Amino acid sequence: MTLDPRKVSLISEFLVQSFMGCSVHDHEDEDDVAQVYQIVNDSTGELLHRVIVSRAFIHDHAEAEIVPALQTLWLPACLKMAGGRRVFVRSQMIEIEESRAA
């Protein structure tokens, strides 16, 4: 089942507004269970953040609820805390990838 393109776009727009000077690139993951967003610094080309938004989050929220839900979950702050680690947006919560062992 295809994700609602307007909801996918709303998430991209929210991330662009939250991270000035950055571009947001998105695509469906290989397993077709999430939408992946990459936040890239426009000046350096550096990948700053990776967000994986579950299909459940997108399907469980009406279009008008998407941005308020991301704000309630404190997504921008979570991304800043996570640094380069991946951040997963589930239906009602956020998970930050554990640090990988060196």
pLDDT surpassing 70 at residue 33: yes
Q: What CA–CA distance (Å, rounded) separates 60 from 22?
A: 28
Name the average pLDDT for the chain.
92
pLDDT at residue 99, as a whole number: 75
Asked whether residue 30 carries a pLDDT value surpassing 80, the answer given is no
Residues 6+ apart with CB under 8 A from 4: 58, 63
- Enclosing H/E stretch for 81: helix 75-82
Mean pLDDT of 58-83: 96
What pLDDT does 29 receive?
86
C-beta separation of 89 from 72 below 8 A: no
- What is the C-alpha separation between 6 and 11, in angstroms, rounded? 9
